[in-house]
Copies of this chain bind each other. A is one copy, B any other.
């Protein structure tokens, strides 16, 4: 890692390192000619200062950490894209870690960020940290970080910091109501992981819509478990074969939507003739096939951008009250929510 350093430049330019430093940072008085001379030497050697030494000396790094559950999921890679865009533009360095939705790996990610002395982090937590011990563990690590944190997508109770969230409740409510308006009376929910706040909020939105419209809330219509595909598949397969099955579903995320669709296909049912639905988030490949599947759409890249902006703003105004940005998902009705006559 040996390369020309500020000392070398200073020597060759016949000045002190302090002067070179002034030239690099463009602050402090330094004469026209000295500046020119120093710059020439720097160019000649492709001199580039060391962020390492700089951060150490300034006691402040320009690295920002991003912790996400997984990179291989269009939702999270969308967030990453947004974050990356604004960080690049503003001259910050992006350090990334994934947690795989695992608490322990989440802790390790947090620690890795501290090890790197990041200036702040953007954090999609692996879980809710509702258990007191877990919360203590997590927030201790967050505090140790010593820098600001922006929570992205998955809220954590009792954590007072900037966050960028989605209005899961009203999204789910709107989706469910759309199906009710379409004439459905027996509506199920594939709620996914209600350990996660976002899962619960979505389930609650669904429930509220059902109750508000004076329909019956069937416990057996509320499928919960993980946000994963196989889980949804198994549960939907079972429920759809019961005589008294729902005619429509609110689906909590795109992975469970895949499971749902696979079940529907295997049961040789038609959408929306045999079973209708509205899902949370666009399906991967939705844009490809332009399928008439209704969903709650979020501008994912924008969420990432907002989070990054919030963090940077926090650097500038450390004492601003915590900001909470809640984005309402847009309901896109494309037909799969309909109730056709075929259904009794």
**Which residues of A are at the interface with B, using a C-beta cutoff of 8 A?**
1-3, 46, 48-53, 55-56, 59-61, 63, 70-72, 74, 77-78, 80-81, 84, 88, 93-98, 105, 111-112, 114-117, 119, 140, 144, 146-147, 258, 261-262, 265, 283-290, 301
Interface contact A52-B49, CB-CB below 8 Å? no
- A34 CB to nearest chain B CB (Å): 24
Residue of B nearest to A288 (CB): B258
Residue of B nearest to A80 (CB): B71
Residue of B nearest to A60 (CB): B1
Of B53, B70, B111, the contact of A56 (CB 8 Å cutoff)? B53
Interface contact A88-B97, CB-CB below 8 Å? yes
Residue of B nearest to A114 (CB): B48
Interface contact B61-A84, CB-CB below 8 Å? no
- A79 CB to nearest chain B CB (Å): 9
Q: Inside 8 A of A51's CB, which chain B residues have their CB?
A: 115-117
Of B60, B71, B115, B285, the contact of A283 (CB 8 Å cutoff)? B285
Interface contact B94-A1, CB-CB below 8 Å? no
Q: CA of A55 to CA of B54 in the docked complex: distance in angstroms?
A: 12
Task: Find the residue from A146, A147, A288 having the highest chain B CB count within 10 A.
Answer: A288
Residue of B nearest to A85 (CB): B98
Interface contact B96-A84, CB-CB below 8 Å? yes
Of B74, B140, B258, the contact of A284 (CB 8 Å cutoff)? B74
Q: A288 and B285 in contact (CB under 8 A), knowing A52-B52, A77-B72, A96-B94?
A: yes
Q: A72 and B61 in contact (CB under 8 A), knowing A50-B56, A115-B51?
A: no
Q: CA of A112 to CA of B1 in the docked complex: distance in angstroms?
A: 15
Residue of B nearest to A143 (CB): B46
Q: Inside 8 A of A144's CB, which chain B residues have their CB?
A: 3, 46, 48
Interface contact A78-B72, CB-CB below 8 Å? yes
- A82 CB to nearest chain B CB (Å): 9
Of B1, B61, B88, the contact of A98 (CB 8 Å cutoff)? B88
Q: Inside 8 A of A46's CB, which chain B residues have their CB?
A: 140, 144
- A329 CB to nearest chain B CB (Å): 19
Q: Inside 8 A of A2's CB, which chain B residues have their CB?
A: 59, 146
Interface contact B61-A71, CB-CB below 8 Å? no
Q: Inside 8 A of A80's CB, which chain B residues have their CB?
A: 71-72, 77
Q: CA of A105 to CA of B97 in the docked complex: distance in angstroms?
A: 23
A-B contact pairs, 11 of them (CB 8 A): A1-B61, A1-B119, A50-B56, A71-B77, A72-B80, A77-B80, A88-B98, A94-B97, A258-B287, A258-B288, A284-B288
